[in-house]
Amino acid sequence: MGTTASPMRLIEILGGMYSRELGIDLSGPDRAQTFRWFLAAKLMGARIPTRAALSTWREFDRRGVDTPEKIRQTGWDGLVEILDKGGYARYDFSTATRLLAIAGEILGRYRGDLNVLHDQSDGPRDLEVRLMGLGKGIGPVTANIFLREMRSAWPKADPAISPLASLAARDLGLVKGKGNPLDALRNAWAAEKARGYDFSDFEAALVRLGKDYCRKPRATNCPMREACPRLRPAGYPG
């Protein structure tokens, strides 16, 4: 793998885990931090700009509404107000309703602790099913966003690589052929780890690249242009 597409360069240019960007510590299975990231992943899972989802999470954080108990105490009207303030107005009513239902499920079935949900799961696939079973609005996309940054904290968190990360990895030549993209990226990470970061940072950097650049036919402003065979200028040494 060329140095221009190294994990460290990708992370430095594009950014790593979204949880790290938000100041959420996922180094271990901490009940509070796990739920804070789950809330962020739930907001990011909708068809809404990522910046609006992150802004809305920060509004929840600013008001201290970051536990299942606080969500239920805040109530529907209070949640709608937070969602509107954060820029989530398009989905404010439905999201408020769903957050209340999800918080109730976590409190009722898992004692308010998502780590209990993990511990009761039989394995990676059952973990995904249990997460999506918490309520409407938690589909495969939301589950993938949440679980890919929980890999280090939860032994059973082992989701497939996001299609966006896979797209970016293929454009960069990190994944080739019909093999498992996750295996290829783990091999790339093992060959050239980024000190101070986690595999999930590498994965998140690829997600950011795929979402912001690789989906566009000719992303001339792509920061990884010189490392991408699809965009690299003719005659450029590669």
Give the domain ranges of the chain.
3-16+161-227, 18-148
pLDDT of residue 238: 40
Higher per-residue pLDDT: 132 or 232:
132
Superfamily of domain 18-148: Hypothetical protein; domain 2 (1.10.340.30)
pLDDT of residue 179: 81
CA distance 18 to 25: 11
CA distance 64 to 77: 16
CA distance 128 to 145: 11
Q: Terminal CA-to-CA distance of the chain, rounded, Å?
A: 10
Q: Give the angle 150-142-100 at the CA atoms, nearest 5°.
A: 105
Please write the tens of the pLDDT for every residue from 5-29: 899 999 999 999 999 999 999 999 9
Please write the tens of the pLDDT for every residue from 123-169: 999 999 999 999 999 999 999 999 999 999 999 999 999 999 999 99
Cα within 13 Å of Cα(127), Cβ side: 21
Q: What is the pTM of this model?
A: 0.92
Please write the tens of the pLDDT for every residue from 80-131: 999 999 999 889 999 999 999 999 999 999 999 999 999 999 999 999 999 9
Please write the tens of the pLDDT for every residue from 31-82: 999 999 999 999 999 999 999 999 999 999 999 999 999 999 999 999 999 9
Q: Where does residue 190 rank: exposed (0-12), middle (13-18), buried (19+ CB within 10 A)?
A: exposed
Please write the tens of the pLDDT for every residue from 173-190: 999 888 889 999 999 999
Query: CB under 8 Å to 223, separation ≥6 — which residues?
Result: 13, 14, 213
Dihedral sign, CA of 211, 16, 14, 165?
A: negative
CA distance 209 to 207: 5
pLDDT of residue 207: 97
